[in-house]
Structure 1
Amino acid sequence: MSGRYPFLFSIPHGGVSVPPEVRGLVNLSRKEIVFNSDPHTRLLYGFDDAVEALVDFEVSRIFVDTNRAPYEYPPRAQDGVIKVITQDGTPVYRKGLAPGRDLIGTLLQKYYFPFHNRLADVIDTRHVEVAFDCHSMLPKAPPVRMDAGRPRPLFCLSNRGDRFGKPLRKGGLVTCPPEWLSALARSFQAEFDGEGRVAMNDPFRGGFITVAHHQRTRTPWIQIEINRDLYETEEYIDTGSHKVDEARIAELRGRILSAVAGFWEEVSG
C-alpha cells in the first residue's frame, strides 16, 4: 500500500465540461453550468497521493449524472441521468433541442458506463476496504426539492439508513455498518467542532453509486456531502469568475482527510 489508506474516493460531480455531442444545444451559461455542478470537489477530495484509488469525472453532472440510474432519463425523469432542468428549474437545453433517445444512448455509452466500469475495476483489482462517494451541497435546499429552502448541515454522511445510520426497516439495505457511519460522524464533528452540525442520512441518504457498487461486491460505501458555505462565501470566492481561495480549499482538504483517517483508526483497530 506504500502508506496509502485502503480507500476509494469517487468524485462523480466535480467536472464542468460540456460533451461535444450537445454543444450548440445548451441553454445555460458557463456560470450556470459550474453552479449546477459540484465545483471544487475535485480539489476538496483530491487525495491522490494518500489513498489507494481516486476516480473522478470530467463532464458536468448537468449533462451526464453518474449518480443516477441509467434508465432515469426524459421523459420519465427530468432530474435523472440526462437532465432537462437545473436545480432552480431552468431548462438545460434550448427549446426543442433536448436530447432524444439516440443521443441519450450515445451519452450513456461514451461517458456514463465507462465511469462505472472504472469504479468496478478499482474495487475488483485494488486493495479497497471502504469507498467514499464525494459531493457538495447548497447551503439551502433548492426550489426543485420537496424541502425547498431548508438549511443544510455542515456535512451529511449517508449509508441509505435512518438518521442514526441504521436500516429503515428490519433487513433493509445500508451500504456500510451503522457503527461505521456513526464513527465517521464523530470524527467529522470533532474536526469541525463548533462550526456546524454533522448529520447522518439527512437530507441525503446516498445515491445510485453507493447502492449499485455496494450491492455488487458488498464493499462498504459512504456518501459525503460538504456544505458549500464552507468555501463559497464572499470571504473565499470571486463571484464573477467563481474562483475559490486556494488556501481555504487546501485547509479543508487537510481537515477532511484528517477526519476520514481518524474514522479509519477507530474502526480498523
Structure 2
Amino acid sequence: MMDDIVRVRRGGSPLILSMPHSGTEIPPEVAKRLNETGLSVPDTDWWIPRLYDFADGLDATVVEARLSRYVIDVNRDPSGASLYPGRATTELCPTTTFDGEPIYQDAMAPGVLETGIRRDRYFWPYHIALRSEIDRVHEAHGYALLYDCHSIRSVVPRLFAGTLPVFNIGTNDGQSCAPEIEAAISDAVAEACAEACAAASDGPAHQPPRDEGSESDLTYIVNGRFKGGWITRHFGEPDSRVHAVQMELAQTAYMLEAAPWTFNEDGAARMRPVLRRVLDALIEAGARIAGARIEGENR
C-alpha cells in the first residue's frame, strides 16, 4: 500500500528532496466523484522529478508522492488550519482549483468524515516515510538537509498579485533552518540571477530585482508569498540539526503553463545549473555548520 502512495529512492548524503505535489494518480473511489476539471489535475507541480533528475549525482534521497494533491494535500496542516490565515489557499482535501473552480461533481465534495479517512489512508504514509528518511540520514551524518521541491503557475490572481518570481525560497521566516543555510541558498540564487542578467544584457553582472522582472527574467525572493508549507514548518528543527527549505518555482521558466503542460527542455537546461548551485550551497553550508558545532562540542 505504501508503494502506491509514496516512492522513496535512498541516497547516502545528508540531502533529502521531498516532492509532495508532483503526483497525478487518483484512487478510483475519488476519481468517480471528481468533475472533468478535477480529473485533469491542473494544479500539479508538473515535471518536478524530471527537472531535478540530476539529484542522483548528489547521492540525495528522494521522497516522492504518487497521488495527486486533489486526493489529499500532504503539504497542509493535518488539523485543517490554514498556513496563511486571511489569504486564499486550498484545503487539506481541496475542493477547488487554485483559481477557485470546483473540482467535484455536485454534492460530491468530501466532508469531515471523508477528510479524516483520507488523512489516515494517504496523508500519514507520506509523512511516516519522510520522517523515516530524515531520522536515517540524521543518524548517519548527525544532521539532515530537507529541500522541499515545488512549482506553480507564475500568474494565479486568486493566490497572489502580479507575476511570481522564478525562485521563491521559503524558510518560515528563518525558523526552519539555520541563518547560514538561508543565506547560502539566497546568495547562490542571487549570483546565478545576476550572471544570467549580465549575459542577457551583455554587460557587467548586477543583482536583479527580487520581485520584478529583469532582462533575463530570472528573479527571486526569500519568504515572500510562499514561506514554506507544512513540511518545511513541521520538519524544520535547526536546533535538532534538521534544516528545511522550500523552493517554489514559477513554472513558466521550464514548461508550458497550460494544458498539455509541455516540458520545455531549453528552459529546464537553464534552470538545472541554478538549482544544482542551490543544492551545492545547501550541502556545503550544512557541512560547515555541522563541522563547527562538532568542533565547539569537542573543545
Aligned residue for 1:42? 49
Match of 1:153 among 149, 157, 165: 165
User: How much has 1:97 moved relative to structure 2?
Assistant: 0.6
Aligned-partner Cα distance in 1 for 2:169–2:70: 23
Aligned-partner Cα distance in 2 for 1:261–1:57: 24
TM-score by length of 1: 0.81
Q: Deviations over 1:232-268 (max 9, x none)?
A: 25xxx8x553231345435533431233213433553
Aligned-partner Cα distance in 2 for 1:81–1:212: 15
Aligned residue for 2:149? 134
Q: What letter is aligned with 2:49?
A: R
Aligned-partner Cα distance in 1 for 2:183–2:89: 34
Q: Deviations over 1:65-107 (max 9, x none)?
A: 0000112189xx9722101111111111111011233332332
Aligned residue for 1:204? 226
Match of 2:77 among 69, 74, 83: 69
Aligned-partner Cα distance in 2 for 1:44–1:17: 19
Aligned-partner Cα distance in 2 for 1:158–1:52: 20
Is residue 231–residue 244 contact of structure 1 (8 Å, CA) maintained in 2?
yes
Aligned residue for 2:287? 268
Aligned residue for 2:131? 120
Aligned-partner Cα distance in 1 for 2:38–2:106: 18
Aligned residue for 1:13? 21
User: How much has 1:62 moved relative to structure 2?
Assistant: 2.3
Matches within 5 A, 1:84-99: 84-99=95-110
Change (3 A) 1:25 1:116: same
Change (3 A) 1:240 1:206: closer
Match of 1:253 among 269, 272, 276: 272
Structure 1 stretches of 4+ moved >4 Å: 215-218
Aligned-partner Cα distance in 2 for 1:64–1:152: 25
Change (3 A) 1:257 1:132: same
Change (3 A) 1:112 1:31: closer
Is residue 7–residue 53 contact of structure 1 (8 Å, CA) maintained in 2?
yes
Aligned residue for 1:228? 251
Q: What letter is aligned with 2:94?
A: K
Cα root mean square deviation, aligned: 2.7
Paired-residue identity, %? 26
Aligned-partner Cα distance in 2 for 1:266–1:103: 43
User: How much has 1:45 moved relative to structure 2?
Assistant: 2.5
Q: What letter is aligned with 2:181?
A: W
Is residue 187–residue 260 contact of structure 1 (8 Å, CA) maintained in 2?
no
Change (3 A) 1:111 1:256: same
Q: What letter is aligned with 2:17?
A: F
Q: What letter is aligned with 2:228?
A: G
Aligned-partner Cα distance in 2 for 1:267–1:115: 25
User: What stretches of structure 1 of length at least 5 have no aligned partner?
Assistant: 166-173
**In structure 1, the residue corresponding to 2:14 is in which secondary structure?**
strand
User: How much has 1:151 moved relative to structure 2?
Assistant: 1.8
Q: What letter is aligned with 1:185?
A: S
The count of aligned residue pairs is 246
Change (3 A) 1:218 1:208: farther
Is residue 10–residue 134 contact of structure 1 (8 Å, CA) maintained in 2?
yes
Q: What letter is aligned with 2:152?
A: M
Q: What letter is aligned with 2:224?
A: D
**In structure 1, the residue corresponding to 2:36 is in which secondary structure?**
coil
Which structure features the higher share of helix residues? 2
TM-score by length of 2: 0.73
Aligned-partner Cα distance in 2 for 1:240–1:265: 38
Aligned-partner Cα distance in 2 for 1:123–1:208: 15
Aligned-partner Cα distance in 2 for 1:4–1:261: 15
Aligned-partner Cα distance in 2 for 1:52–1:255: 17
**In structure 2, the residue corresponding to 1:268 is in which secondary structure?**
helix
